[in-house]
Every structure is written in C-alpha cells, then in structure tokens.
Amino acid sequence: MNIIKAKTLNDFYSIAAWKIAAQIIQKPDSVIGLATGRTTGSIHKALAAIFDAHPFDTSRVTFFGMDEITGVDREYFGSCYYMLLHEVVLPLHVPMENYIMPPTRSDDFAREGENFIRAIRDRGPVDLQVLGIGENGHIGFNQPGTPFNSTVFLGRMEETLETRIRRESNTPDDVDLGGLTIGIQDAMHSRRILLVANGSNKTAIIKRAVEGPVTIDCPASILQLHPFCDVVVDPEAAADLTQR
C-alpha cells in the first residue's frame, strides 16, 4: 500500500481529487468506479473545482458507482445515482451514456447485478476504483464477514444508515431496503485502488485496515494485497498509524 498522509483536511480533499483528475488526464477513456458518502462527497466537490479551474477532456471517461441503495426512488437525494450525478457526472460534463448505475428498484436484483457488472466489463478493465471505508471496515456494502471472493450482490446496510435512509426517503417499514454492491473480488480486479478516509471516527479502522491482519472481519484489510493501492488519509484518520 502507498500511504499518503495529508497535512491538513483540505490537503486531503485536494490530493484525493487530483488523483481522480490525473487518472482522467493521463487516460481520457478511463473506467472509474466511485463511492458515495461524506468523505467522497467533499472529494467530489474538490474534483469539480479542479475541473472548473483546469478543464480537461471528460468526453470519453466512464464512471460508475460501486454500490446503490435499493428500495428507494432514484430521484431521492440520498440515492447513489442522484449523489454521483450531481457531484461528478453533471459538474464534469460527462456524457450520460458514460454513467453506469444499477436501478434502485427491481424484482430481480441478481439479474440487475449481473447486468451492472457486465456493463462495466464491456467498457474494459476498471482503471481506478475509489473506495471509502465504513467504521466497521466495510467497502461498498461488503460488510464484515463477506468472503473475499464476493462478486456483485444485494447486501445490507448497517442499521444506523438504514434507519436514516428510511426516515429521509419516507420508506415505510414493510418495504425492504438493501445495498446492491460490487463484490470485494470485483474491486480487487481494478488496476488501481484509491482508499480514502478522514476524521477521528476512522482512526481505529484505518489502523486495522492498513496495519492489522488481513481478515474478513475487516473487509478493507484485503487491500493490503492489491499491487497498486493508494491510501489517502487526513491527520485525524492517520493518527494511530505507525507506518511511514
């Protein structure tokens, strides 16, 4: 792993955003997997600012979101589709046909998952996969205990996230909410990975993911075995790291 400890929170956002911009500048037809959340949301804002200040060709880049909440409307502001559309796709003027997402509603998510991963593979190998990390070590919706060879599947959210989304999206209790996610194996097949984390709520899990044993109890720990994984952390998330 290549660990980059940013000196300030702003540097953290900027370093991570420039890594995504650089990927597109170096290879304009890159296939890039994105993640949603507070961490990546701020990185995407920094990426949009970079694009405004230093425009680059985005007509051939393909973006997809690594996971999606199921059981809500796509238009709900907390769906991954909605967030990535407004945070990245529209601000960077990416053609809509180059934005790949699974649906939020379906009666057959096994089929939707297969279609989703096939649509990504049809564009070629994934050049860069951006990953956030949950406080329990999850990546996408691959929660602790998920086998390392998982491929796209309909998983579950943590209870706190599910409760918030149910409230925000006015989803009644009898409607199932889930998380369709690319699997750990799918993410590991990417040419490069960019793992990002900031804040004191990520200090402990970043230490486990980067310096702890590789175990399914901490899904992100498998990234230690990826040949090209950058880990960008802010001073708070990096606080307990002994390495470098």
Neighbour tally for 171: CB within 10 Å = 18
Distance of closest approach, residue 110 Cβ to ligand GLP, in angstroms: 19
Distance of closest approach, residue 128 Cβ to ligand GLP, in angstroms: 15
CB nearer to ligand GLP: give 89 or 196.
Answer: 196
H or E segment to which residue 9 belongs: helix 9-26
CB nearer to ligand GLP: give 35 or 92.
Answer: 35
Distance of closest approach, residue 67 Cβ to ligand GLP, in angstroms: 5
CB nearer to ligand GLP: give 27 or 224.
Answer: 224
Say if CB 214 and CB 221 are below 8 A apart.
yes
Our CA angle for 172, 178, 181, nearest 5°, is: 155
CB nearer to ligand GLP: give 61 or 197.
Answer: 197
Q: 3-class DSSP state for residue 170?
A: coil
The CA distance from 28 to 244, in Å, is 32
Residues that bind ligand GLP (CB under 6 A): 35-39, 67, 132-134, 140-141, 161
The CA distance from 166 to 238, in Å, is 32
Instruction: Show the tokens assigned to 240.
Output: 């307990």
CB nearer to ligand GLP: give 4 or 83.
Answer: 83
Distance of closest approach, residue 241 Cβ to ligand GLP, in angstroms: 18
Say if CB 223 and CB 208 are below 8 A apart.
no
Distance of closest approach, residue 54 Cβ to ligand GLP, in angstroms: 26
CB nearer to ligand GLP: give 29 or 199.
Answer: 199
Instruction: Show the tokens assigned to 59.
Output: 């007509």
Distance of closest approach, residue 94 Cβ to ligand GLP, in angstroms: 20
Our CA angle for 107, 112, 117, nearest 5°, is: 165
